[in-house]
Amino acid sequence: MNPDPIVRLQSISKRFGKVLANDRIDLEILPREIHGLIGENGAGKSTVMKILYGFYQASSGEIFINGTKQEICSPEDAISFGIGMVHQHFMLIPPMTVFENIILGQEPTKAGLIDQKKAKSKISSILEKYQIEIDLEATIETLSVGLQQQVEIIKVLYRDAQILILDEPTAVLTPQEAQKLFEVLRQLKESGKTIILITHKMKEILEVTDRVTVFRKGKKIQSLETSQSNEDLLANLMVGRKISKHFDRSVIPDPKTVLDVENLSYRNEQGLEILDRLSFRVKEGEILGIAGVLGNGQTELEHILSGLMTPTSGSIRIYHQPIEGKTNCYIRSHNYSSKLDQSPFGHVPEDRHRMGMILEWSAKDNFLLGHLHEKKFFRNTLINQKNLRCHAKHLMDKYNVSPKQENVLAKHFSGGNQQKMVLARELDGHPNFALISQPTRGVDIGAIEFIHQEILKIRKSRSAIVLISADLDEILTLSDRILVLSKGKIVGEVDAKKADRLQLGMMMTGQAA
Amino acid sequence: MDEKNSKKYEAFYSAEGKGIMLWLDLAFWVSLLSSTLRLSTPLTFAALGGFFSERSGVVNIALEGLMLIGAFAAAWGNLYFQSSVAGVLCGILAAMLVASLHAVACVKFKADQIVSGMAINIFAFGLAPMLSKALFGTRGSSPQILSEIHMQTWNIPLLEKIPFFGDVLSHHIPLVYLAIVFVFMTHLWSKKSALGLHHRAVGDHPEAADSLGIKVNRFRIVSVLCSGVLCGLAGAFLSIGHGSGFARNMTSGRGYIALTAMIFGKWKPIPTFFACLLFGFTDALQIRMQGTPLPGLGEIPPQFVQLLPYVVTMVVLAGFIGSSQAPKALGIPYIKE
């Protein structure tokens, strides 16, 4: 028999304008458990917790704490019911000290001034209990992200929270910091706290939680014991269908060489050798994966191949025509082959917010970027709005972008949908040469699958593809050949069929394979 | 100006007539420093006003306009009620009322804070002469406030006995001392009190403050009103403390100078006070340098000498604005997602 739930949500709904973010959510959290909430971005798991924390008010539904119905109208109310929240984006004030941040809003006072002694003794008893070491007088901005998160947790404990909500706590942590966090969470559970962990990473759920509730599209799908679940089951519940792992990798007959890079070097303004004599070729219908720890020259390689930077020396050719030192505009608009059904060049940049799209523009206008030389979008010198709208609608439909509203600003789409739009714009013309960097960073699993399938589709239509990714699994699933980049040098070339994670990992960190 | 010193100064000046000797005379320095203290007082009040508003996250370039309204209302109050205290209270009230416009526009209606502040300045610039026409029948200035109802200077017992310092620090009107007390009280409040902590939190990271149950918008509105109160004091000082009546555009850019002092003081009360002293000093120096030959340079045309405080302001602005000391959420209305 389960104990009585400490928190019970009954039929909670939340509407933001037209969007139903939460649809009649029923949820029970048991005392002294670590309860995971899992779902894709925008599934409604954060929203429902923000309602519990009083940040939002539910459009309808009821909240029961310890069996009694409560109205939670503000974070203040939530705090008084013993609920604390560690937000995904830290709610810390960078120029203030750790001490000030912890007591903010709950300062013990003496004659109008803060009673430093009382506050400090309370904090140090918490620090002792959970064996956390932190300098109270340090300012937040000097602390590492991991330490900042600990401050957030102390902040919540200082408010005597019994129920801790953590929203995507590991998103910004290194794997080591995440391990440390899980230890703290287990300790908290031991000492009688209840923890709600919001995440979209299945590994974390399986590692640390007791029970898990899956959300999809604003609805609660199912609560289950973590011990009775596994990655496949969770993934299927999250996406609502089986995730296909089948990829079409047909052999491309008679491939010609498209991209030919020879002795490409780049030295930056400080004179550092960022790229050192890279040579590689990519054929039609081939995906060349470039693996490596971030910051080993990938960004510079991407910028040079797309004409945003000029290499110090070396040559780059597409179908024997040199493009090194040419502008991005030239590379995009030049005719490299006689094939009329292929656009010359497609580029999915690593940082879609900074380079992939203009967030303040509508989706429709974003589709125009990089296609300004194409006559079909213009009538004399004016933009042909009708054609553009048609084009946008067509692409959004084809690439399954939701909501399918071409006039909505780009920033209002989720990460996955934004990325699909960038992909649609860049790859729909089956480019001769496609340069794709970090295609699935910050994208949920349903969209990842879709994006991978699209990349394989243009492979089939004979595009030469360079895929730069920090995600080794992605490189291994998609590539035909893998180059490993370390400190600007190619330290290894592997046939993807014979590649082995361990061997690649060793090459990436610069150890000889 | 204190009578004893000014007599001494004038006697000396007319007798010698040589600029170089002037700089070596103690009486000259007493008069210069004493006047620095006086001239920095309105700047200090207004800059503290700026501190309250801006630390809570609301840009306040309306200091100038608020001061002007405060100056006018103080002069009217002093004349109408025949009392300088009533005058000061009127100045405070009027400036606070106008500040409430800024507060409502910026906090409630999320208007652009620069535009709202500018609008208030322009509004004040027109309102004061209009009211003076209506109330006094003059073209922009009030009748003179006679010495019977004028604010009296205080002689601080013991302090006035100390040579040099006594002459510099004593014999000022109460508002001068009030400004200094406010500086230290504000410092203490901001650093050590719970409300001061909330005040800084609201300006640096309103979302965080809100998540801890602090009412961000309410706090900001009250902060802007505080800013009005202080500008009222600054204005009152100009019209009925230092001067003896309201004159058209009598703030002459002091609101902006106060804002600069606050930026120069990194949005902190005590450094801001020292910045105000610096500007007060340049102003006092400017007055004394008019018609006084400088060693080696001779006499500088007064038009150039009068530029001094503004040149210093510009140099300070060019050198210090844009440093990272500003409250992080300054100028950004708080909108809950």
> A104 to chain B: which residues are within 8 Å by CB?
197-198, 201, 208-209, 212, 214
Query: H or E segment at A280?
Result: strand A273-283
pTM of the model: 0.75
Residues in CB range of B178: below 8 A, 6 or more apart = B233
Taking an 8 Å cut-off on Cβ atoms, the answer to whether A107 and B188 are in contact is no
d(CA A357, CA A370): 10
Residue of A nearest to B216 (CA): A105
Over residues B291-305, the mean pLDDT reads 77
Residue B85 forms part of a structural domain: yes
Which residues on A lie below 8 Å from B210 (Cβ)? Answer: 75
Partner residue facing A104 (CB), from B193, B197, B207: B197
B37/chain A closest Cα distance in angstroms: 30
- The tokens describing B267, both together, are 């949005």
Contact (CB, 8 A) for A196 and A29 = yes
| Rounded distance between C-alpha atoms, residue A479 and residue A205, angstroms | 29
By the CB < 8 Å criterion, does B211 face chain A? yes
Q: What is the pLDDT of residues B119-162, one digit of tens each?
A: 999 999 999 999 999 999 888 889 998 888 888 888 888 888 88
Residues in A touching B208 (Cβ below 8 Å): 90-93, 104
Q: Residue B18: inside a domain, yes or no? A: no
In the numeric block, the tokens 């709950």 are attached to: A106
Give the integer Cα–Cα distance in Å for A426 and A399.
12
Residue B10's pLDDT band, with cuts at 50, 70 and 90, is low
Q: How far is B333 from chain A (nearest CA, A)?
A: 17
Nearest CA in chain B to A95: B204
What's the total number of domains in chain B? Answer: 1
Residue type, A331: I
Q: What is the pLDDT of residues A399-409, one digit of tens each?
A: 988 888 889 89
Question: pLDDT by residue (tens digit) across B186-219?
Answer: 999 999 999 999 999 999 999 999 988 899 999 9
Q: Over the stretch B39-54, which tens digit does the pLDDT of each residue have?
A: 999 999 999 999 999 9
Tokens representing residue A7 in the block: 């928190």
> Is A37 in contact with A197 (CB distance < 8 Å)?
yes
Which of B212, B215, B268, B324 is most worth mutating to test chain A (most A CB atoms within 10 A of its CB)? B212
Hey, which residues does A362 pair with through a beta bridge? A409
Nearest residue to A345 via CA among A356, A337, A353: A337
CB A293 within 8 A of CB A486: yes
What pLDDT does B9 receive? 57
Contact A76 B210 (CB under 8 A): no
Pairwise CA distance, residues A114 & B241, whole Å: 36
User: In CATH, what number is assigned to the domain containing residue B284?
Assistant: 1.10.3470
Distance to chain B for A76, nearest Cα, Å? 5
- Contact across the interface for B328 and A112, Cβ inside 8 Å: no
C-alpha–C-alpha distance, residues A222 and A370, integer Å: 44
What tokens were used for A212? 């898990």
The answer to whether B200 contacts A103, with C-beta atoms less than 8 Å apart, is no
DSSP track, A62-125: EEEETTEEE---SHHHHHHTTEEEE-SS----TTSBHHHHHHTT---EETTEE-HHHHHHHHHH
Which residues of chain B have a CB within 8 Å of the CB of A89? 207
What local confidence, expressed as pLDDT, does residue B16 receive? 46
**Residue A166 touches chain B, beta carbons under 8 Å:** no
| Best to test chain B binding among A91, A93, A97, A151 (most B CBs inside 10 Å) | A93
Calculate how close chain B gets to A355, using CA atoms only, in Å: 25
Helix (H) / strand (E) element for B254: namely helix B254-264
CA B189/CA B230 separation, integer angstroms = 16
DSSP state for residue A337 in the 8-state scheme? S
Chain B residues 285-304 within an 8 A CB cutoff of chain A? none
Distance from CA of B41 to the nearest CA of A (A): 27
Segments of chain A scoring below 70 in pLDDT: 1-2, 174-175, 243-246, 510-513
- What pLDDT, on a 0 to 100 scale, did the predictor assign at position A498? 84
Q: In B100-166, where do the E strands start and end?
A: none
Distance from C-alpha of A95 to C-alpha of A26, rounded to nearest angstrom: 40
pLDDT of res. B326: 86
Closest CA to B286 of B264, B301, B275, B273: B301
Cβ B193–A76 below 8 Å, yes or no?
A: no
Is B78 inside a domain boundary? yes
Residue of B nearest to A74 (CA): B213
pLDDT over threshold 80, residue B243: yes
Cβ-Cβ contacts under 8 Å for A177 (sequence gap 6 or more): A144, A145, A146, A149, A170
**Rounded alpha-carbon distances, angstroms, from residue B257 to B88, B232, B253, B275:** 22, 16, 6, 10
Residues 55-74 of A with CB under 8 A from B: 55, 74
> ipTM of this model?
0.83
Closest alpha carbon within chain A to B185: A113
Cβ of B208 within 8 Å of Cβ of A92? The answer is yes
- Taking the CA of residue B255 and the nearest CA in chain A, the distance in Å comes to 28
Q: What is the pLDDT of residue A293?
A: 78
Closest residue in chain B to residue A112, using alpha carbons only:
B193
Query: Over 90: is that where the pLDDT of B73 sits?
Result: yes
Cβ-Cβ contacts under 8 Å, B211 against chain A: 53, 55, 75, 85, 87, 91
Q: Which residue of B has its CA nearest to A78?
A: B213
Residue B236: strand, helix, or coil:
helix
Residue A295, pLDDT score: 78
Q: Compute the count of residue pairs across chains A and B with CB atoms less than 8 Å apart.
A: 68
Give the pLDDT of residue A246. Answer: 67
DSSP secondary structure of A32-54: T-EEEEE--TTSSHHHHHHHHTT
Q: Is B266 on the interface with A (CB under 8 A)?
A: no
pLDDT score at A513:
43
Whether residues A104 and B193 touch (CB distance < 8 A) is answered with no
Facing A109 at nearest CB: one of B194, B200, B213: B194
Q: Are strands A194-199 and A211-216 parallel, antiparallel or unpaired?
A: unpaired
DSSP-derived letter for residue A59 is S
Q: Within an 8 Å CB–CB cutoff, is residue B201 touching chain A?
A: yes
- Domain hosting B113: range is 39-144+179-323
Asked if B188 and A112 come within 8 Å (Cβ–Cβ), the reply is no
Residue in A closest to B213 by C-alpha:
A76
Q: Report yes or no: A106 at the B interface, CB cutoff 8 Å.
A: yes
Residues of B in contact with A85 (CB under 8 A): 211
In a domain, B139, yes or no: yes
A93: contact with B, CB 8 A cutoff = yes
pLDDT at position B80, please?
Answer: 94
Q: Do A104 and B209 touch (CB under 8 A)?
A: yes
Nearest residue, CB atoms, A107 vs list B188, B194, B200? B194
